[in-house]
Structure 1
Amino acid sequence: MPHITLDYSPNMEERTDIGGLCSRLRQAAAATGVFPLAGIRVRAFAASHVSIANGDPRHGYIDISIRLRDGRDMDTRKRAAGAVFDAARAFLEPAMQQHSIALSLEMRGIDPELSLKCGTIRDHMQKADP
């Protein structure tokens, strides 16, 4: 884990490469060494309707949510959150220079007793590794 979700205003698709941003955040999360590679998930969803600040439709936003299982100390979580945020900020810098954009990130814990899962990604990654 983590699960990284981007919620963004639809006008951001004209301003930046959302798919590229997802890839960059996946790379940044992996580079922290905090998250197991097979557990990293990044997805993005454009909001159907938005109203931002004074209502000017030129405003845009990207809100990043990181859901993470418990078990890492605060300093480790801060470092990982900072690394992902810094990667997003660097990626979006050209768009932020030209447009009104709000960027935010929040990391939240997942209660392991209420988080059920199964999967075969790790099995298939091992088969693909030389």
Structure 2
Amino acid sequence: MPHIAIEYTSNLEGHLNVQDVVDALHSTAQQMDIFPQWGIRTFATAVENSRVAEDVFGGENGYVHVRVKVAGGRDDATLTKIIDGLHGALSSSLSTLCSERPVGFQLEVFRFDPAITRSGGSIPGSPTQRL
């Protein structure tokens, strides 16, 4: 953990450097010294069908929404460090785009419940690694 899911409206394609946003959020999570390196996952998806604010379908307004899932048990100060750090990275990575066109963005942190979550795989270092 964390799992960082980035959604962006497809009208930003060609204007938004998606890999830069992914890299900014991922490297910020790595540098926080909160998360195990093997647990950080960051991915982005374009949303094809959307409307933002007063736009008609396919209008100029763009939007970037980031959901961050973290394991429970972290205190409020740690959660604040996570949201402030990642929001700062997101803001910085979108600053040029926001100055060139109308774009909104939001970042939310969610705690998952390990009692109702299962994981698996073969990522080195992961406690779920199967040989």
Matched ranges for 1:11-22 at <5 A: 11-22=11-22
Question: Following superposition of structure 1 onto structure 2, how do residues 106-121 of structure 1 map, counting pairs within 5 Å?
Answer: 106-121=108-123
The 3-state SS of whatever aligns with 1:121 is coil
- The share of aligned pairs that are identical, in percent, is 25
- In 2, the alpha carbon distance for the partners of 1:123 and 1:90 equals 31
Q: Report the secondary structure of 2:35's partner residue.
A: coil
Tell me how far apart the structure 1 counterparts of residues 14 and 124 of structure 2 sit (CA, whole Å): 35
**SS of 1:14 mapped into structure 2:** coil
- Secondary structure of the residue aligned to 2:10 is coil
C-alpha distance in 1, partners of 2:100/2:64?
Answer: 15
Q: Give the deviation of 1:93 after TM superposition.
A: 0.5
- Residues 25-62 of structure 1 show CA distances to partners (whole Å, capped at 9, x for unaligned) of 10001111111111000011111200111115100010
| Structure 1 runs not aligned, ≥5 long | 125-130
CA offset at residue 123 of structure 1?
4.2
Give the corresponding residue for 1:94. 96
Match of 1:47 in 2: 47
Q: In 2, Cα distance between the equivalents of 1:42 and 1:103? A: 17
Q: Which runs of 5+ in 2 are unaligned?
A: 127-131
> What does 1:20-59 align with in structure 2 at a 5 Å threshold?
20-56=20-56, 57-59=59-61
Contact kept, 8 Å, 2:38 with 2:125, in 1: the verdict is: no
Q: TM-score with structure 2 length normalisation?
A: 0.90
TM-score (norm 1): 0.90
